[in-house]
Amino acid sequence: MRLVFAGTPEFAVPSLRVAASRGEVVAVYTQPDRPAGRGRGLAASPVKQEAQRLGLPVLQPQTLRTVEARRALLALQPDLMIVVAYGLLLPPRILATPVLGCWNVHASLLPRWRGAAPIQRAIEAGDAETGVCLMQMEQGLDTGPVLLSQSTPIGPQETGGQLHARLADLGAQVLADGLALLRVGMRPAPRPQPAAGVTYARKLDKAEARLDWSRPADELARKVRAFDPWPVAEAELAGERVRVHGAVALPLAHAMVPGSVLHAGRDGIDVACGDGALRIRALQRAGGKVVTAADYLNARSDLRTGRS
């Protein structure tokens, strides 16, 4: 087969390795280099870096909507295009160019969590499980029929970053299974997505990372996990803005105003919520590094409540 791969972030790298394992990838599409770091110099995407390591040709068009972009893809004579978190829309003519169309590896159990941030939204919503789908792409947003899928439980303390890494590997495995079927002449059977159960995972916004202490503690704990490592939950703690990197919900009855510190000791800082309390275990001051609650309290002894 002649495969074309399209992807950009770290999530797509395991799938690229699978696609390239048999020497069938004729080109890799990824987004143009972007400014990054303090110096704002141009940086290659993780997929570009991996493609270069593998010695694969890299294409970085600003858009796929031009005649030139379609001609470039046609010249590659692709049997199949594999798309994993590419970040650019594929217009109908691009979708129709490969002989077998375009496959997409998506990090949810469709139709739940179509869209940009399915991993984080699944944790934030308190889902017990998630998974990956290998989908035949069509014009709609993640609406295409599912070819293969694999589910996995979400750990009770699993963060967005941890789940991201697991699903990247699981997605690569599902892609490997689909390609193995193609190689023996067995095209995976497409299963239309059901109309019921559709949800959308909107793109993450830094503004929504602010913790509202009037909300239930279990909701805030899920947000802390979901937004780790980005954009990272922020909160007002005893008059100071901090970033919260680790927290658990406590089913604690209290009559305090939300945001009040109920307890501060080596085991954590318990903050009153609209329902229950949030125990902060790891946090970060402005301009500082991530520390445990115990280390934070060395600089904020005014918060200590006397209990260990």
Give binding residues for (6S)-5,6,7,8-tetrahydrofolate as ranges. 108-111
pLDDT at res. 307: 46
Report the pLDDT value the prediction gives residue 250, as an integer from 0 to 100.
Answer: 98
For 254-275, letters b (16+ CB in 10 Å) and e give eeeebbebbbbbeebbbbbbeb
Per-residue pLDDT at 308: 40
Cβ burial of 232 (10 Å; 0-12, 13-18, 19+) is: middle
* DSSP state, residue 110: T
Which amino acid is it at 17? R
Known binding-site residue numbers: 108-111
pLDDT along the chain (308 residues), means of 10: 98 98 97 85 95 98 96 98 96 97 98 97 98 97 97 98 98 98 95 97 95 98 98 96 98 96 95 98 96 95 70
Q: What is the pLDDT of residue 137?
A: 98
Q: What share of the chain is helix, strand, coil (3-state, %, to 5)?
A: 30, 30, 40
What is the pLDDT, as a whole number, of residue 64? 96
Q: What are phi and psi of 60, to 5 degrees?
A: -135, 60
Contact between 29 and 5 under an 8 Å Cβ cutoff? The reply is: yes
Per-residue burial over 18-47, b if 16 or more Cβ lie within 10 Å, else e, is: bbbeeebbbbbbbbeeeeeeeeeeeebbbb
The confidence score (pLDDT) of residue 40 equals: 77
pTM: 0.95
Structural domains of the chain, with CATH: 3-201 (3.40.50.170), 206-303 (3.10.25.10)
